[in-house]
Amino acid sequence: MEKKFGQSCTFTQEQYGKPRIKDQDVHFNCSHSGDWVVCVFADEEIGIDIEQMKPIQTDLYTACFPECNHLNEQIFFPLWTVKEAYVKATGCGLYKELSTILIQEAQLESDCMTPIDLQKKHSFSCRRINLIKGYALAICGTKKDLESIEIIKETIESLTPH
């Protein structure tokens, strides 16, 4: 992967605040939690979310997950990241109620999911990725983009120009 430094770009925002690189045909999305920042680039709309898995009162979030009979931390974090990656890919972010996005029961344990949006029809798929111990990570986009994702884990030092 070629690294280029010193190039500038202009950012704009969509209706709900999703950043876009002005005059460029590249889509990206970023997320951060704990000690990690993740970013994804694609040819079409894409979303990513990472969450540090730590103790949480899951009963405060049951309304967001009508597809779950029993919500616990092992279910919460993977599903939250899938739903948040989805709303980020669609560009509406958390302005959209997560309860309007459903994951079929048969897909709850799978690494690949196709969310069902009760308000709008999108052809996005989501992929859960086990990359960092103690974190849940999901990427949502077109099947073509998800199949061609290359995962690179870099340290900040490797990205700094010398």
**What pLDDT was estimated at residue 9?**
82
**Domain contains 19:** no
DSSP 16-32: TS-EEETT---EEEEEE
CATH of the domain at 78: 3.90.470
Provide the percentage of residues in the chain whose pLDDT is more than 70.
88
**What pLDDT was estimated at residue 3?**
47
d(CA 130, CA 109): 13
Range scoring the smallest mean pLDDT among 41-45, 71-75, 102-106, 144-148: 144-148
Q: What does pTM read for this prediction?
A: 0.84
**Domain contains 6:** no
Provide the residue range defining the domain that includes 97.
50-157
**Domain contains 82:** yes
> Who's near 11: CB < 8 A, 6+ residues apart?
19, 20, 21, 22
- How far lies 32's CA from each of 6, 39, 48, 141, in Å? 24, 9, 10, 18
The yes-or-no verdict on residue 162 having pLDDT over 50 is yes
Residues 62-94 have pLDDT tens digits of 999 998 888 888 889 999 999 999 999 998 878
